[in-house]
Amino acid sequence: MPNSYINRRLIIDSERSPSITMFPPPPYIRPVIGDTILHTVYLFSKEGEVSNSSLAFRLKGLGLQADGDITITPDASTEVFDGLNWVTSPTLVHYTGTSIDTLEIYKIRSIDSLSSGDYIASVTLSGGEAADFPITVNIKVSEIVYDIDMQNWLDQPEPQVTNTENIAINNFIVGCKEDNNWIFDRFWINGLSNQQRSNVSLSFPTSTRKEPIASPTWQPSVGYSTSPNKYLNTHYNAATDGVNYIIGDAAFGFYGQALQNSFGFAMGCNDGGVRIQLCPYYSSGTSWASLNVDSFLASSISDYKGLFIVYQDNQRIYNSLNGIDQYSFLYNNASALIPNYENYTGCQNSVGVPNSFYSAEFFIEFYGSGSIDKPKLFTRIQTLASALGYNI
């Protein structure tokens, strides 16, 4: 179910032992947290809270068969961290001699795909001629009521992403609304775990899907990487599709990083005169930008990665990086127009023809109002990207 999630909060119901004499006679193998023998784990959710915590423990055993393996076997509703990866299959822990006392690196948590409901599962320790020792795992999964825009996006027919991703995206939308920043015509998260879902805009999700042209590289937790002749058609025409994007109050941009330091356009279009254009980084650290006018300004910029935004406000056009304006220029509002062409990503749509290709990594891209609070949006996007595994 797309509207369910697991909130992993942990309570331990255990046997607290003041000394080693509380352990059974050898041979034994037990999961231990400090002096506590772990018996029962409660994994439960609470409406409105989000947590992906897990329970770490060490393995302690005595009087075992010399040189062998302990097997940790999770039930279908649980998974175990083996020190390197989360696994749902049995994992082996090798020991030498007749005892074992590991670091506290093994962990238990509930799997991410459980629908709402109550579960009783177990993780069993076995091996070394010690009697099997089960850890009982009680799991309760509750549903979360998503924001209406999030729910509209979830209701689209493309394959769903994970509950973890859905929670992070929902938190982002709610946060943007708290900041009065949810004023986008299109907002794509390219770096999701499913490419088809990445092409569905969070805002106006029934709009025409973004279309990869000539197979630009796509990776989960990264997004699209464009290169010459490999680009994206957003199918967004600001002249006909603009709601929040209007003359004098418009913005577009992306979160990612430039991959070339030569001329080309990361995104936009032009009608032979009026432009929507951004070249993040070219000619020794110079950036180029234009928005709804037939002029442009090239000026220095402080970096080549992060949140790039070009926006109009008070008859000025600004180029912003990571919430900080890099430069601006005055334009004549009377001559401003919105080019009547679909916007491309990884190049510009020049009167219906892709040209001026640019290699860049696009984790997020958007079009909308120029009234967004840029520093707050940058903070929200940083939090979202971190939750989805994108770090630049």
Report whether the peptide linkage leading into residue 27 is cis, meaning its omega lies within 30 degrees of zero.
yes
- CB proximity list for 58: less than 8 A, separation 6 or greater: 31, 32, 33, 101, 102, 103, 104, 105, 106
Sign of CA dihedral 155, 384, 52, 193: positive
Chain centroid to Cα 322, Å, comes to 18
Q: Higher confidence at residue 264 or residue 44?
A: 264
Find out whether 126 and 91 touch, Cβ atoms under 8 Å.
Answer: no
- Name the token pair of 306: 């992060």
**Distance, CA of 143 to CA of 165 (rounded, Å):** 15
pLDDT band at 21 (very low <50, low <70, confident <90, very high): very low
User: How does the average pLDDT of the chain come out, rounded?
Assistant: 87
CATH numbers and ranges of domains, the chain: 9-141 (2.60.40.10), 148-387 (2.60.120.200)
Position 49 scores a pLDDT of 39
**Rounded to the nearest 10 degrees, what angle do helices 374-387 and 163-178 cross at?**
170
Q: Is the pLDDT of residue 7 over 50?
A: no
Tokens of 294: 């037939």
Q: Is the distance from CB of 189 to CB of 364 less than 8 angstroms? A: yes
pLDDT of residue 5: 38
Looking up tokens 């992306």 gives: 254
Higher per-residue confidence, 118 vs 156: 156
Average pLDDT of the segment spanning 17-46: 72
Give the model confidence (pLDDT) of 195-210 as tens digits.
Answer: 999 999 999 999 999 9
Per residue in 80-104, pLDDT (tens digit) is 999 889 899 999 999 999 999 999 8
Q: What is the pLDDT of residue 371?
A: 95
Task: Report the chain's C-alpha Rg in angstroms.
Answer: 27
> Among 25, 12, 8, 21, which Cα is nearest to 64's?
25
Q: What is the mean pLDDT of residues 244-259?
A: 95
The per-residue pLDDT for range 98-147, each reduced to its tens digit, is: 999 999 899 888 887 677 778 888 899 999 999 999 998 887 776 677 89
Q: What's the pLDDT tens digit per position in 62-86?
A: 999 999 999 999 998 888 999 889 8
Do 99 and 93 form a contact (C-beta atoms < 8 A)?
A: no
Name residue, tokens 């690196």: 105
Q: What is the pTM of this model?
A: 0.70
Phi-psi region of 194 (alpha: psi -120 to 50; beta: other; left: phi over 0): beta
Look up residue 206 and give its amino acid: T
